[in-house]
Amino acid sequence: MKNDPLADPRAADFLRRHGWGSAVEAEVLGGGGRHKVVRLHEAGRSAVLKVHEAPGIRDAFARELQMHSFIARHLPADVPRILGADHEARAILFEWVEGGKIPSRPTRRDIVRMADFIIRLNCPAVLAAASDIPEASDAGFGFGSHRECARLRVEELLALKPDSGVRGQMMNFVRQELAPALAKLVDFDPLASAGRRLSPSDFGFHNVLVRPSGSFCFTDFEHAGWDDAAKLAADFLIQPELVLAGEDADAFLSELRSSGAFEGGFPQRVRALLPLQKVKWTTIILNVFHRPDADDALLRRRLQKAGEYWAAN
């Protein structure tokens, strides 16, 4: 993918067909090696363009378009409207949502509202309409499958070409910290599935916009789909951008359990998964080491972030 998504003639043609002219201004909002998110400005209006790179093992564009469209049909107030999509350009045009991120640590009410979205996404009427929804990225339905996912991620990092610099330091960290921690979980409690549920996957406050009215707007469904309910909750609690523990974690799990949409032993299953998902999230922070174009400064920042996350949780 080019650094400027608008330089791609397919994306430019897509925008022209949706009424955006040559005077459009672009402001990069985010994105990594797999996609770019750009705010478009023109003639007093705004929209958001998300352009995905070519598909690899997973087609993130197709998944996001399917999942976002599905949620928009059933919970339209919870997500931005899709204004257009183009399969050739691998681009989705979203409405611009006024608002911003939660400015400080979330309140208990904020945590309850996150749980409420998960509960409504998994109400009987929505689940009944989701038969064609695929499994989420890294989906698993028991402790063994979750452990295997983490093991593969660890092995992929250890299989990278070592050097005497930051890449070698990363491999030492994985070998000395993550691999032994994972090995201790081999004979851990054989966690059964807590039930198949719809998961936004990369679910956390980093993917929430707070509208001026105070309502939440959820974004980023490129990894979403069916997953283990316990993994859904564990991933949220230990998400690197904001780890929730103690009373905050209890409040989230209590809301899900009391809704009746999740099974009785659900909180215990979630807590049993936390050490394993901590290993997985740490490897995700280190994903940048798989990019041959990543410079040493970026790699050092990610290695430092992984080490701090690992030590703090």
**127 and 40 in a common domain:** no
- For 257-274, write each residue's pLDDT tens digit: 888 878 767 888 899 899
Average pLDDT value over all residues in the chain: 89
Within a domain: residue 102?
no
**123 and 52 in a common domain:** no
**238 and 137 in a common domain:** yes
**256 and 127 in a common domain:** yes
- Distance (Å, rounded) from C-alpha 254 to C-alpha 251? 5
Within a domain: residue 164?
no
Within a domain: residue 176?
no
**116 and 234 in a common domain:** yes
Closest by Cα among 162, 141, 153 to 181:
153
Angle 266-285/246-258 helices, nearest 10 degrees? 120
Does residue 301 carry a pLDDT above 90? yes
Averaged pLDDT for residues 130-137: 94
**Backbone phi, psi, residue 47, to 5°:** -155, 170
Best mean pLDDT range from 32-46, 56-70, 121-135: 121-135
The owner of tokens 């040559």 is: 22
Please give the angle made by the CA atoms of 253, 247 and 267, to the nearest 5 degrees: 25
- Distance (Å, rounded) from C-alpha 283 to C-alpha 274? 14
Q: How confident is the model at residue 1 (pLDDT cuts 50, 70, 90)?
A: very low
- Distance (Å, rounded) from C-alpha 175 to C-alpha 105? 33
State the CATH number of the domain containing residue 227.
3.90.1200
pLDDT at position 174 is: 97
pLDDT at position 25 is: 86
Within a domain: residue 70?
yes
Within a domain: residue 210?
yes
pTM of the model: 0.90
Within a domain: residue 72?
yes
Does residue 32 carry a pLDDT above 70? no
Answer with the one of 95, 116, 131 that is the final residue of a domain: 95
Coarse DSSP helix, strand, coil percentages of the chain, rounded to the nearest 5 percent: 50, 15, 35
**128 and 35 in a common domain:** no
pLDDT at position 192 is: 63
Within a domain: residue 180?
no
Instruction: For strands 225-228 and 196-199, give the pairing.
Output: antiparallel
**288 and 215 in a common domain:** yes
Residues in the chain: 313
**135 and 89 in a common domain:** no
**299 and 264 in a common domain:** yes
- For 193-223, write each residue's pLDDT tens digit: 667 899 999 899 999 999 999 999 999 999 9
Q: Count of domains in the chain?
A: 2
Question: Residue 38: which domain range?
Answer: 5-95
**115 and 244 in a common domain:** yes
**238 and 120 in a common domain:** yes
What is the number of other CB atoms lying within 10 angstroms of the CB of residue 190? 9
- For 162-172, write each residue's pLDDT tens digit: 777 999 999 99
| Percentage of the chain exceeding pLDDT 70 | 93
Within a domain: residue 156?
no
**10 and 79 in a common domain:** yes
**Cα separation of the two ends of the chain:** 35
State the CATH number of the domain containing residue 17.
3.30.200.20
8 dihedral zone (left: phi>0; alpha: psi -120 to 50; beta):
beta
